[in-house]
Structure 1
């Protein structure tokens, strides 16, 4: 309804809670180019296994002429072999592998460098975003016929989506990493890396989180892993609510045994957590807000 005459490109994000839903969406928005950025344990409680998630998400590829996949994800590597056998045109993208059609890697000067077919396309300022998402966007642009020069020009000023690891400095001089849109194991690792890069010997690095949800039978394990990883980086961990408290504390306890001993603060709500941050952090400190759940999840 919002499309105007002359619209040439529509980007439609499709999600699913069960098999068949993406197929239904594709029946009235048939994609010419399909992109799958990742497969992980999110919504595992609904699907039962990651293989079932692959089957559900791969519905988006059935009628597409071109498919862009994340080569760094082993599930999607397996899917690529099946789609290749079906005769699909594939673009494999990576945040590390130079053998991918499009790769995005760090250089020694603090930039991200984009390679197409192992040939350097351009460099862009470092961003705390998924390298494979950038690579996928470049691949789609190339498929659409966008000139490489235009892609390079736009990458220099690439914006970051709201609440998806936005980095800002507030009036008090505190660096705020806002990753509250949602959280999953891969995204949380990226966010912790962003916090670690801003940590100094004399400053505090704080993680505020209720943990991750909708991970099915892996929820305790994944939150425990996250708590352990956070404890290796943060000076303080503020746990919001009760849903994942035990799992996060278990992970922090494991990190304690490795010599990492962050201060742990337990709060009932995000409001209390934010109040603690305002009362204890000063200019030069950093805080990562990882996920933000409705009250009924806390």
Structure 2
């Protein structure tokens, strides 16, 4: 955000100033006292801990004031609800700074990859951009990204997540995107949404929030509700198969990463992206669609994708000791993403004659159908040729119920990390995927340490 006087911020969020000097300049926001930078506001949110208890530390690190629900011993902007104030300040900031184009990205899988790819394409084309860090895509992370954007930002790329109906509409009410990207619709968070149809309606809130002259990018074949229920846009780009506006041909995997030809509007370009996993082609197409909507050429997109670096734990391919290959996709999981990664791993292992070891953690928030979704993945693991299935966590026992081959059940990632090195053989291909709560990233970290990354 552009620097603004503390007194003006107080007026914007309806705050009462206590012990604060109104002339100090605000340059950003934080909710974690450990990462506060000079010139930022510290929002004392209540959660498992009370942020007010850390306000003194935040101000010692350079925060100009705290925003809290009561006066504190440090300069304070007193409001009824600090979280609402954080969100309202982000709304106000975007109304005040109208030069940046806001891009909203949502979907059930592929959001972060799409965000990373779009940001890389735009940066490589000389655009000044700010993008969501990691996956800070909720009611706290999104306003923080807005408020911490560089003052000269031209494009603001915002990932938008949802766990309940109305979440996307709420985030769009803060960000007011002009370009929207829908990555996919597949079963996730069904314990909150109740059905795939309701989930599609929620993701469709992005499309419905766009202005009439806005641009929308979406995959072919998704429910009508997900694309705004039939509403029109200034520009609508579809991606996926060859009947779409944007599609890929000649997809191949090499040691260096993905290669394919991207097609759009009668033009084509060769893409050499340094990422692993053919299932990533669709989010790369989604990012390409977003870049085209922002005026980039197809050649610009291909050139940008050649510089792509993804957020960690999403398809990292590492060579360990004894020529063991580790495909680390441990960040999160859903049924569609699990199926895609299993098929990909099977192709890679088979093509190189390697034994395939799949280490799968449970998939969370799937509602009443959770057992059957896991059993489907277990059956698929057998069909594609997984040689050894390591099931981690309570839900993962359902994989084992349907998997016909050799399998091992571990109660935790820690147990799996202890047992796995003794189970692996030279030349194995090890695939790791599961929901974030299973903490399979701790397992992959242990493997990298015990088997020495080469």
TM-score (ref. length: structure 1) = 0.86
Q: Which runs of 5+ in 1 are unaligned?
A: 257-261
Residues 116-265 of structure 1: matches in 2 within 5 Å?
116-125=264-273, 127-128=276-277, 129-200=279-350, 203-232=354-383, 233-245=385-397, 247-252=398-403, 256=404, 262-265=405-408
Task: Report the 3-state secondary structure (helix = DSSP H, G, I; strand = E; otherwise coil) of the residue aligned with 1:189.
Answer: helix
Alignment check: 8 A CA contact 1:204 1:281 kept = no
Residues 198 and 277 (structure 1), Cα distance of their counterparts in 2 relative to 1, 3 Å cut: farther
Residues 108 and 170 (structure 1), Cα distance of their counterparts in 2 relative to 1, 3 Å cut: closer
**Residue 207 (structure 1) shift:** 0.7
Pairing 1:273–2:416 present: yes
Residues 147 and 203 (structure 1), Cα distance of their counterparts in 2 relative to 1, 3 Å cut: closer
Task: Report the 3-state secondary structure (helix = DSSP H, G, I; strand = E; otherwise coil) of the residue aligned with 1:132.
Answer: helix
Q: Looking at both structures, which has the greater relative contact order when contacts are Cα pairs under 8 Å and sequence separation is at least 6?
A: 1
Pairing 1:45–2:191 present: yes
Residues 77-88 of structure 1: matches in 2 within 5 Å?
79-80=226-227, 82-83=229-230, 85-87=231-233
Post-superposition Cα deviations, 1:37-95, rounded to whole Å, max 9, x if no partner, equal 11122011111111111111111122321111111x432x5644833x4445311011x
**Residue 292 (structure 1) shift:** 4.7
Task: Report the 3-state secondary structure (helix = DSSP H, G, I; strand = E; otherwise coil) of the residue aligned with 1:12.
Answer: strand
Pairing 1:2–2:153 present: no
**Residue 266 (structure 1) shift:** 1.2
Alignment check: 8 A CA contact 1:130 1:190 kept = no
Task: Report the 3-state secondary structure (helix = DSSP H, G, I; strand = E; otherwise coil) of the residue aligned with 2:268.
Answer: strand
Q: Which runs of 5+ in 2 are unaligned?
A: 1-146, 440-454
Which residue matches 2:170?
24
| Number of residue equivalences | 282
Task: Report the 3-state secondary structure (helix = DSSP H, G, I; strand = E; otherwise coil) of the residue aligned with 1:248.
Answer: helix
Rg larger in 1 or in 2? 2
**Residue 19 (structure 1) shift:** 1.9
Distance 2:346 2:324 in 1: 15
Distance 2:271 2:429 in 1: 27
Post-superposition Cα deviations, 1:226-268, rounded to whole Å, max 9, x if no partner, equal 00111232110011122231x212321xxx3xxxxx2111111
Alignment check: 8 A CA contact 1:102 1:118 kept = no
Residues 20 and 172 (structure 1), Cα distance of their counterparts in 2 relative to 1, 3 Å cut: same
**Residue 288 (structure 1) shift:** 0.8
Which residue matches 1:259?
none
Residues 109 and 209 (structure 1), Cα distance of their counterparts in 2 relative to 1, 3 Å cut: closer
Residues 266 and 275 (structure 1), Cα distance of their counterparts in 2 relative to 1, 3 Å cut: same
Post-superposition Cα deviations, 1:151-175, rounded to whole Å, max 9, x if no partner, equal 2212223223311122111234211
Distance 1:104 1:51 in 2: 28
Residues 61 and 81 (structure 1), Cα distance of their counterparts in 2 relative to 1, 3 Å cut: closer
Pairing 1:115–2:260 present: no
Alignment check: 8 A CA contact 2:201 2:225 kept = no
**Residue 107 (structure 1) shift:** 4.4
